[in-house]
Structure 1
Amino acid sequence: MNDQFSIAFGNLKDKLFGWFNAIIANLPNLVLAILVFVAAFFVARYVSKLVGKLVSKRVEQKSISLVVSRIASVITVSVGLFIALGILNLSQALTSLLAGAGVVGLAVGLSLQGTLSNTVSGIVLSFRKRIRIGHWVETNGFSGEVMDINLNTFILKEADNNIVIFPNKLILENPIKNYSLTTRMRVSLECGVGYESNLEMVEQLTKETIAKTFDQVESPKDVEFYYTEFGGSSINYLCRFWIDAESLLEKLRAKTQAIIEIKKAYDEAGVNIPFPIRTLQFDNKLSINKEEVS
């Protein structure tokens, strides 16, 4: 028993001395690896702040700049870790770490495919100059003001103050109409006048009314006016003009004001805007002959 204990103790002592000698022999590399890893942490903090400032100048969403800065920080620390392992000649551990990271990344990617897709789409949308918070857009059958673009959702406020929340992926994969990219919008107005009306006078009166109502319309020549059809009870026309507007609400307000002023002008000029009338006539005498059955 004593001999076995002595042998085991001797083996343990030899192992400890071997490790100690290995540590002493690799002490410079160990110190250098520790210094590189610690330096990577400090560099990561500086890189995170720098990337955050650069991204915040291009993106209004703080969440996006925060995530991008964190990703840059993680990448910097990972590079420092790989360099430190390389200094220690732990190539096998480095290879195993990369393989494990790949497997974990694949598993996470498959399980969070939808979430990651929305996150990537949110980052892409945040960097697009033609979609910004405050713009009036129309997409996926909804129209409203862009309230927020975060990492998962695209938030829209409609004209009736309802909030619509879209997944970012849905916005990125579907067409979007942005009314705020241009400072001018065209208002289209359809109406009809009675068959007894003087059509030349109606056209001139409509153009002059639009030109007086809106400062953006410099003269009646800037108003488009086209008669479109002989309707069932009226001769219909299409009137179009341009206004300075960046949202659909401003366009609707302009159209409302145009209708009000045109109605006033027609009433003063005696122009009739007819509406369908159904006449029921009861003066016909109908005779019903009843045959007598004998």
Structure 2
Amino acid sequence: MNTELSVAWEKVQSMINGFIALLPNILLALIVFILFLFIASRIKAVVKRLTHNRRYARNLGLVLGRLAQGVTILIGLFISLSIVIPTFRAGDLVQLLGISGVAIGFAFRDILQNFLAGILILLTEPFQINDQIVFKNFEGTVENIETRATTIKTYDGRRIVIPNSELFTNSVTVNTAFDNRRLQYDVGIGYGDDIDVAKELMLEAMYSIEEVLKEPAPDVLVMELAESTVNIRVRWWIHPPRRIDDLKSRDKVLSAIKKKLMENGIDLPFPTQQILFHDQTEETDGDRSRQREGWPAVKGKVPKPRRISDSLRLLAQSHTSSDGNHKVDSHSNQS
């Protein structure tokens, strides 16, 4: 029993002596690590200061500052461990971290993708905070760009959180990327109206609107000869290009065009549709020996022209006749 106690006491003394021998190295490692912590905090502050002058770059400075701080602290940890444990090699820890990193990468693949995409978005700045963007079915103002996701506020007061990996790998429309924006609308006039006169009236209406820029100048273009209208496209530029300015200018431009055209007798026709019955023909339709309006061409037997009133009368008679037959059949069944 005494022998076992003496052996245990010797081990404790050996551990104490070893700790005392390592104490100077531990103190030096702590000093080095604290020094690196201070250097890391200063590097973070410098990075934030360097990116502070960039517009809307507060998130970029924060992320880059944290990355620089983390790398500096990791280097300080390697050096401190090498001081405390002389046999320790940084390559061993790097190898261990590499193996662990692969496992972590598979486990947190989506999170890492969003993180890297967020860093790239903050660096390249395809859009910035307060920009108005369109992404798939979402449209609104960019509120914040974080490392994981970007948040936008829709025009009706809702918040949409979009993962950065989707924003980085898909198309995004930035409505406020430039100072000016062009808007357009198709106006239909009647076929009997003078196109040149209508175009001149539309231009006058647009020039009378304060929100419409005079340079670049608005323009009007004939775009389509539709079924019941001649479609003329009006185009104008606005500044600034935000959603509220879009709606205000559109309201004033369309109201002014409608008023101007109606004051000058230009027709704004409703969509019209002509319905022909299967046997409705006219005397002047041409050679009645040829197939026309779905009727087969039978030699010596040409359908006579009918009016729509005659066709309706035939339909009514057919309906009345079928009702009478139905009543007779019902009476016979009852008998």
Answer yes or no: same fold by TM over 0.5: yes
Note if 1:261 corresponds to 2:256.
yes
What amino acid is the match of 1:153?
A
- The offset of 1:152, in angstroms, is 1.8
Larger displacement relative to structure 2 (165-174 or 273-282): 273-282
- Secondary structure at the counterpart of residue 238 of structure 1: strand
The one of 184, 201, 205 equivalent to 1:205 is 201
Partner of 2:159: 163
Q: 1: CA distance between counterparts of 2:85 and 2:44?
A: 29
Partner of 1:196: 192
Identity %: 23
Retained in 1: the 8 A contact 2:131–2:142? yes
Task: Please tell me whether the aligned partners of residues 85 and 91 of structure 1 are also in contact (alpha carbons under 8 angstroms).
Answer: no
Query: Post-superposition shift, 1:27?
Result: 6.9
> Cα deviations across residues 20-51 of structure 1 (Å, max 9, x unaligned)?
8x92xx77655543432232222223223333
Flag the structure with larger Rg. 2
Q: How does 1:128-277 map to 2 (within 5 A)?
A: 128-214=124-210, 216-218=212-214, 222-277=217-272
What's the TM-score, normalizing by structure 1? Answer: 0.80
Structure 1: give runs of 5+ residues left out of the alignment. none
Range with greater deviation from structure 2 (121-130 or 182-191): 121-130
Worse overlay, 160-169 or 52-61: 52-61
Distance 1:265 1:85, change over 3 A: same
Q: Which runs of 4+ in 1 moved over 6 A?
A: none
Q: How does 1:52-131 map to 2 (within 5 A)?
A: 52-58=48-54, 60=56, 65-88=61-84, 90-92=86-88, 94-131=90-127
Distance 1:275 1:102, change over 3 A: same
Shift of 1:149: 1.4
Residues paired across the two proteins, number: 285
- Alpha-carbon distance in structure 1 between the residues aligned to 2:16 and 2:246: 86
Q: How far apart, in 2, do the equivalents of 1:140 and 1:262 lie?
A: 32
Structure 1 residue 253, shift from structure 2 partner: 2.7
2:64 is the alignment partner of 1:38: no
8 A contact 1:64–1:151 mirrored in 2: no
Which structure would you say has the larger RCO, counting Cα contacts within 8 Å and 6 or more residues apart?
Answer: 1
Note the alpha carbon deviations across 1:195-230, whole angstroms, 9 max, x for none: 2222221111111111112464439x9332222333
Distance 1:89 1:101 in 2: 18
